[in-house]
Chain A
Amino acid sequence: MENNQRIELPQHLLDEVQRVISLFPEGKQKSALLRVLHIAQAHFGWLSVDVMDYVARLLHIQPIEVYEVATFYSMYDTQQVGKVKLEVCRTGPCMIEGAENIVNYIEKKLGIKDGETTADGIFTLKTVECLGACGYAPMLQAGEKFHEHLTEEKVDALIEAYRSNPVANYMGENQNG
């Protein structure tokens, strides 16, 4: 319990959670779950059991209902990750436009493999499936941002930018959080 007390969203995000809940009919507040998990993950960095329990309390649902969802969807991290996740699309249309070279380049540059996090805790590299940018391949997602038509130079620049400002990749209600 003591541990849980530290876990609290700031007021502007609590207001956002209430707004999202109000978009559904009375008693259907569970429908807000996916959105609220995104808000919580952007704020806390990842979804620990404590964070998930907190979300369950916010929505008046059972913790197990939150765990089930958090473990089903690939965007949720139930393990700690770096401050910036570099998610490189590896699916067909990106592959034939050079996605593998981009992954290799980032692996070498950061000294990590797919799925790993840099020692300073800033970057996690992950290969993911089609993100809906196939015509602008190769591409990667960092937080809420898409980086398209990637080249090695572009990768250098964006890694530098995120290294000095790891929250630059969020643009919504969480950007101050």
Chain B
Amino acid sequence: MARKLLLNNVHIEGIHNYDVYRKNGGYAAVEKALKTMSPEDVVEEVKKSGLRGRGGAGFPTGMKWSFLAKPEGVPRHLLCNADESEPGTFKDRYLMEKIPHLLIEGMILSSFALGANQSYIYIRGEYMFVLRIVEKAIAEAYANGWLGKNILGTGYDLDLSIMPGAGAYICGEETALIESLEGKRGNPRMKPPFPAIQGLWQRPTVVNNVETITAVVPIVNEGGDEYAKIGIGRSTGTKLISASGNVNKPGVYEIELGLSVEEFIYSDQYLGGMKNGKRLKACVPGGSSVPILPHYLVCKTANGEDRLMSYESLADGGFQTGSMLGSGGFIVFDEDQCIVRNTWNFARFYHHESCGQCSPCREGTGWMEKVLHRLEEGHGTIADIDLLWDIQRKIEGNTICPLGDAAAWPVAAAIRHFREEFEWHVNQPKESQIRNYGLVADKSFQTENA
């Protein structure tokens, strides 16, 4: 049986309530840390655990924490990123809805480790019903002495509250999140300065994802070394995967990193296979921003090895034949889905969500959406496919924030792996409007020699 560290108690009746959470071992990690550990000890355990950011980039959390500037007399802040707007991702919502005290406990531990006395959770505005659950849990934590002044008589003070966004994907980018929390438009800032030096109100700030922060609870409870034993290589611990698309059992799953993709998709313990007995056509394993994989590269890498649910294995082959773990938004497409249509749909999303500050992103995303729509409707040309390729290349790496890259990668990967399906839309415009292309040919032998 696979180990669970975050969702192990999620099925206990009433676990969202303080009393039930506490009775089931809740807040033990806070007692341990505040009474027996120094902030540096907590940072050390997180470093040993090998925990990597669960928000998408996978940056080592302990290292990120050690970059936080600590000028004398200047408050510093921990912000929890609960913006969760990457299409395909809904795990943070699940955590906060089901077991909100786990996040609060993680926030106390992480704030203590960073020496922060005022921390905030920034949640997307559409999750207002989740905000209310978390806010109620925060009030319970205050009432029971886990937040506020002189927690557990240790002299440590912490105030925690939760604030909503209002419908802007870009506010998940950490500097845009900070702007938004200052009550402004969510325009990403130029870096440097990095938030670790000048973040919220120009003060040193750490931004971490919900899941990253909750993972600190088992790390403190069991020790960083124990945590690091789970997983594979530099992908330590467990990961929440949000699974959607044409599978039998979509939903949120906690997996041990290193699980095989094949087992994840086909075993009854996880997704239970493809819905209606259809064939797998493609998979976007880490949220809409990561490269799409064609069927023959989902369960195997280009070298013919088993593809695993880990940062390294999902990226194996680079952008030629791999993808990324990203936020863990695992979207599965069956043979009846149209890749051109889905690529257009995602391009429209990025165009809609571009904040408009940099012209390659603002113009490029709009242009890609238009060209893709043309192709999808059977009005495109072969030159359009090359044009798309050029546009995405001009965006990538030429923008203030990574949204530009996030918009470019899915288009690049779709053309790379599904070019014949794009060409079919051009060459068979009528037919492409009444049926779908089906699976693309297995090119694994060609890629191996390329």
Contact = CB atoms under 8 A, between A and B. Distances in A.
Given A30-B182, A69-B183, A171-B129, A76 B166 contact: yes
Interface string B345-364: 11001001100000000000
Interface of B: 75, 84-90, 92-93, 118, 124-129, 132, 159, 161, 163-169, 180-186, 201, 242-246, 250-252, 284, 288, 329, 331, 333, 337, 341-342, 345-346, 349, 352-353
B182 A141 contact: no
A132 B127 contact: yes
B166 A95 contact: no
Contacts of B89: 132, 134
Interface in A121-177: 128-137, 141, 144-146, 171-172
Given A25-B118, A93-B331, A73 B167 contact: yes
B201 A28 contact: yes
B342 A96 contact: yes
A128 to B, nearest CB: 8
Given A134-B244, A135-B250, A171-B129, A96 B182 contact: no
Interface stretch (A34-42, A102-110, A112-120): A34-42
Contact of B165 (A73, A133, A141, A145): A73
Nearest to A68: B185
Given A32-B183, A172-B132, 15 more contacts: A28-B182, A31-B163, A34-B164, A59-B183, A69-B184, A73-B168, A76-B167, A91-B288, A93-B244, A96-B337, A97-B244, A129-B353, A134-B88, A134-B329, A145-B129
B342 A95 contact: yes
Given A38-B166, A132-B124, A135-B252, A95 B184 contact: no
Interface residues of A, number: 44
Contacts of B165: 34, 73
Contacts of B243: 135
Interface string A78-103: 00000000000011110111000000
Contacts of B182: 28, 30-31
List the 5 closest pairs (A to B, CB-CB), nearest first: A73-B166, A75-B167, A33-B183, A74-B167, A134-B244
Nearest to B345: A92
29 contacts: A34-B125, A34-B165, A38-B125, A69-B183, A72-B186, A73-B165, A92-B87, A92-B342, A92-B345, A93-B331, A95-B341, A95-B345, A96-B342, A129-B349, A130-B87, A130-B349, A132-B85, A132-B93, A132-B124, A132-B127, A133-B93, A134-B90, A134-B242, A134-B244, A134-B329, A135-B242, A137-B250, A141-B126, A144-B129
A15 interface: no
A14 interface: no
Contacts of B127: 132
Interface string A32-76: 111101100000000000000000000101000100110011111
Nearest to B161: A23
Nearest to A22: B161
Nearest to B252: A135
A75 B126 contact: yes
Contacts of B251: 135
Nearest to A133: B90
Contacts, number: 144
Given A38-B128, A135-B242, A135-B243, A72 B90 contact: no
B244 to A, nearest CB: 4
Contact of A132 (B126, B161, B342): B126
Contact of A134 (B87, B118, B128, B345): B87
Given A34-B183, A35-B163, A73-B125, A93 B168 contact: no
A103 B230 CA distance: 44
A92 B372 CA distance: 14
Contacts of B132: 171-172
Contacts of A65: 183-184
Name the residue in A34, A91, A144 with the highest tally of chain B Cβ atoms < 10 Å from its Cβ: A34
A92 B88 contact: yes
A131 B342 contact: no
A96 B284 CA distance: 13
Contacts of A61: 183
A91 to B, nearest CB: 5
A74 B166 contact: yes
A34 B88 contact: no
A132 B167 CA distance: 12
A92 B242 CA distance: 14
Contacts of B349: 91-92, 129-130
Given A92-B342, A92-B345, A129 B118 contact: no
A136 to B, nearest CB: 7
A75 to B, nearest CB: 4
B129 A31 contact: no
Contact of B169 (A30, A72, A76, A129): A129
Name the residue in B129, B246, B251, B284 with the highest tally of chain A Cβ atoms < 10 Å from its Cβ: B129
A59 B90 CA distance: 33
Nearest to B356: A72
B168 A129 contact: no
A130 to B, nearest CB: 4
B165 to A, nearest CB: 6
Nearest to B86: A130
Contacts of B245: 93, 96-97, 134
A76 B163 CA distance: 16
B166 A75 contact: yes
B98 to A, nearest CB: 14
